[in-house]
Chains A and B, each alone.
Chain A
Amino acid sequence: MSQQSVQWKIGGEAGFGIMTTGLIFSRVMARGGLKTFAYPEYPSLIRGGHNTYQVTVDPVQSTSQLHTVHLLVALNRETITLHEAELADNAAVVYDPDDWGTETPTLTHATATLVAVPLTALTKQLDSARVARNTVSLGASFALLNYPWEIVEGVINDWFGRKKPELAAKNLALTKAGYDAVIGKYNFPHHVAPVAGAPKQMVISGNGSIAMGAMKAGMKFYAAYPMTPSSDILGYLARQEDTMGLVVKHTESEIAAMNMAIGAGFAGVRAMTGTSGGGFALMVEALGLAGIAEVPVVVVMGQRPGPSTGLPTWTSQSDLRFVLHASQGEFPRIVLAPGDAQECFYVTYHAFNLAEIYQLPVLILVDKYVQESWQSVEPYDTSKLTIDRGSLLSAEQVLARNEKHFKRHEHTDTGISPRTVPGVPGGVHIASSYEHNEEGFTTEDELETTKQNDKRMRKLDTYLMKHAHGPQFFGPENADITIVGWGSTKLTALAAVRIAEERGISMNYLHFTEIYPLPVAQTVEAFNRTKKTLCVEGNKLGQFEQWVFENTGIRMTGNFHKYGGRPFYPEEIIEQALNLI
């Protein structure tokens, strides 16, 4: 664990307001210029069950949760039992004596302190419902961390004041009651100080960043069916429908969602859908339709553990092969796996350009860990972003071609054909799920079928030449050990690299965002700069490791897999890496 990080965790039943408390905690820290990473864990139900929200706070970098907890807030008895083993040296546990009646909790941990805060009693005194215990515990937390009250006050005012001013006053009183109950009474050593002069930050999830990236890219149509971990994209975009001028459609099924996104894409509107593995299974047939009809569409595919319903609210990286091979026949697609909130924003933005330039489906392969974790980031810089609609012709350009039948699927060196949309004079054509000739008319001719397949797949060669960047190194050059990962592995690997540096271990991270087609030349070049490699991915079969081997012949030195629904921890990556040398 980085010596500078402090980790706060709150636990309790669903319905205790755990998520809100966690988000406010992150925001208070981020407002003080600190870096935060927050991750909620919850079972698939609405009330009851054990929920946690964990926030890692650090003055320099925070991209992952850590194993050790410095401050644990237990809103029920179970939280202490379940998480005591995670406590750091000199940790503190905030609890509500009301949960324990005449008993007192006992800790086996040698140096941890119990901090009794009468959450229930204070809530009652302030005439609030029991659920407000979370807000009181928040105040107590900031007092223990010795964090300035003014920042807490500012965030609470903003958070609740947006809804109702009187709500802000009430919650301020609750927070202050918790703060005052604790301040100056305990010798808790893990203090957090604001970073002076730090830039303003947002606290945003991967899902929020994907939605923002899509809106910046001019996505005007989003169709989806709710499914964890992608449901928040639907909800967030639906809230922006009026202000951002969108059509957001909650459809009857994922089949409808995907076909609608394709219909809108065909009609010339940038369109997206989002789902998880089970919903994507229903979209698979239409994915091939977008492939053969050459319709631009963006699909957010958020992984969670399968097979079938699996573990609906937990994380996984086990759908890589599914996404690479989904749908019958052979057709081009682009698969991108952003690894953190920033990447979620920029990759999504570029996905819309790529979808239109290459006229194909682009899949954004993410997972619960990156989608539902909240990172502190500076507001996204959009000054360098440019919309590129590829070969979408203007009405004048279409007329200038002066064709009897518009050659929508014209054979070209790049594989990219001219495109027009319904409503444009002179561009009449049919987009078809059948194999077709240059004009879109059905063909079963052997030569034309072969040529159309070649044309479509040629788009990927063009993409690799013009738009693929290859994998990216993080950390020191020529390290003894290179962690290799894709997608959300980046979050944990970056933390691992930093901890390794503090411990004098020579380690770096090689991150892949471009999964399909794999930029082979750049991949080989990158591996030439590695010594021992450890491929870290959240599945059992080593799907990405095999994918790299299949494309390049490169074998990793070792691998580390988790497939129990939980994300990686930096500490365990380092432990596995050390086994290699």
Chain B
Amino acid sequence: MDTPTLLNLQTVESPDWCPGCGDFGILMGIKKAIVSLGRPLHDTIIVSGIGCSGKLNHFVNVYGFEGLHGRTLPVAQAIHLANSKLNVIAVGGDGDGYGIGMEHFMHAMRRNMNITYIVHNNQVYGLTKGQYSPTMEVGRKTSSSPHGTLEIPVNPIAMAMAAQGATFVARGFAGDIKHLHELILGGINHQGFALIDVLQPCVTFNKVNNYDFYKARVYKLQEDTTYDTTNAAMATERSKEWEKRIAIGIFYKVEQPQYEQHISALREKPLVEHDISNIDISPLYKEFM
């Protein structure tokens, strides 16, 4: 009964996203990946922040932690360090992860812990009614930028490459669930930190970057035989495409030692399995005598 199926992954809560929201596609992509993975429901934990994306783990019947806005990654990293047997998925939005939580984003990649980070990227703050997010293009008028935005948008893929620690960097599209499902499964199976930035149309507050906008532009990197996923410069270069065409798929994938491999306390078993019933601290006294 604990083996995941699309049916038993259902919870009592139903998504309250706007009809047609890209979040539905991401939710399905995640569920399908969990089903494909086949690990028992109780072995997966989805950590989220606050925003439309933050509600996602209420709709998946695995362990969940909905924390604070922008603080998804510290919680997810700590859960992983506490119990490295778990399948840890962190879910956030572009405001959550690339705005208020940017510090954690950059530092989490430097550590290369074995977790999967999925970002709903829709260029706006949906839950607070449509202010621009850090990934919004220059000049867009929103409720918090009535004269047009002035900042250069954050490019999450280029940012991940600049952090020089991310070992799985990908971009998906909420309108292509099959592809997204494979990307997420790839991220989960990747040994190290996996970033999956997902182009997620917000049907209510972003009338420009809608499904048609993306469908007209997206192409799959893995269908381009000249593309090399171990070439960092190529990854950065391709991530900059936007006006004419937009790449989705795996930009970069390499194997690197994970953070936890360097910690002796985690070598034999997860931290949570250490026996704490009667720890002997008397050897510590000598240093003070």
Contacts and interface: CB of A to CB of B under 8 A. Distances in A.
A274 to B, nearest CB: 15
B276 A218 contact: yes
Given A247-B271, A379-B282, A256 B103 contact: yes
A423 B74 contact: no
Contacts of B7: none
Interface string B155-180: 00000000000000000000000000
Contacts of A48: none
A322 interface: no
A434 B58 CA distance: 11
Nearest to B282: A379
B263 A241 contact: yes
Interface string A412-434: 00000000011111111111111
A300 B279 CA distance: 21
Nearest to A253: B103
Given A285-B68, A293-B67, A432-B66, 17 more contacts: A216-B281, A221-B271, A242-B265, A245-B264, A252-B106, A256-B71, A256-B104, A260-B81, A263-B67, A268-B83, A271-B82, A387-B276, A423-B272, A429-B63, A431-B65, A433-B66, A433-B68
Contacts of A217: 276
Contact of A221 (B13, B78, B106, B282): B78
Interface stretch (B36-44, B116-124, B204-212, B221-229): B36-44
A164 B62 CA distance: 55
B12 A259 contact: no
B288 A204 contact: yes
Contacts of B106: 252
18 contacts: A208-B288, A212-B284, A242-B265, A245-B265, A252-B106, A259-B75, A260-B75, A260-B77, A269-B83, A269-B271, A286-B68, A387-B276, A421-B83, A428-B41, A428-B63, A429-B63, A440-B64, A442-B13
Given A252-B104, A422-B45, A423-B43, A379 B263 contact: no
Contacts of A268: 82-83, 272
B242 to A, nearest CB: 29
Given A242-B265, A264-B79, A425 B66 contact: no
B244 interface: no
A215 B281 contact: yes
Given A269-B271, A423-B272, A425-B2, A430 B78 contact: no
B200 interface: no
Interface string A253-278: 10111011111101111110000000
A262 B264 contact: no
A440 B75 CA distance: 18
A387 B289 contact: no
Interface stretch (A52-60, A80-88, A195-203): A195-203
B284 to A, nearest CB: 6
Contacts of A252: 103-104, 106-107
A289 interface: yes
Interface centre among A200, A286, A426, A433 (most CB of B within 10 A): A433
B103 A425 contact: no
Interface centre among B75, B277, B278, B285 (most CB of A within 10 A): B75
Q: Number of contact residues on B: which range applies?
A: 35 or more
Nearest to B104: A256
Contacts of B285: 202, 379-380
Given A259-B75, A262-B78, A441 B103 contact: no
Contact of A263 (B82, B107, B283): B82
B247 interface: no
Given A262-B67, A286-B68, A428 B61 contact: yes
Interface string B255-289: 00000000111100001101011110111110011
Nearest to A245: B265
Interface centre among B71, B74, B77, B103 (most CB of A within 10 A): B74
A220 B274 contact: yes
A387 B276 CA distance: 8
A335 to B, nearest CB: 22
A420 to B, nearest CB: 9
A421 B273 CA distance: 12
Nearest to B76: A263
Interface in A184-228: 200-204, 208, 212, 215-218, 220-221, 223
Contacts of B272: 267-269, 421, 423
Contact of B265 (A220, A257, A433): A220
B65 A269 contact: no
Interface in A24-75: 27, 30-31
Nearest to B82: A267
A263 B68 contact: no
Contact of A422 (B12, B61, B79, B274): B79
Interface centre among A203, A247, A261, A293 (most CB of B within 10 A): A247
B81 A247 contact: yes
A271 B81 CA distance: 11
Interface string A76-94: 0000000000000000000
Contacts of B136: none
Contacts of B43: 423
B50 interface: yes
Nearest to B57: A430
Interface centre among B61, B64, B81 (most CB of A within 10 A): B81
B28 interface: no
A255 B75 CA distance: 11
A221 B78 CA distance: 9
A424 B86 CA distance: 10
B216 to A, nearest CB: 37
Contacts of A426: 42
Interface in A386-434: 387, 405, 421-434
A264 B271 CA distance: 9
B284 A263 contact: no
Interface centre among A241, A263, A442 (most CB of B within 10 A): A263
Interface in B1-27: 2, 11-13
Contact of A269 (B66, B82, B288): B82
A464 to B, nearest CB: 27
B74 A251 contact: yes
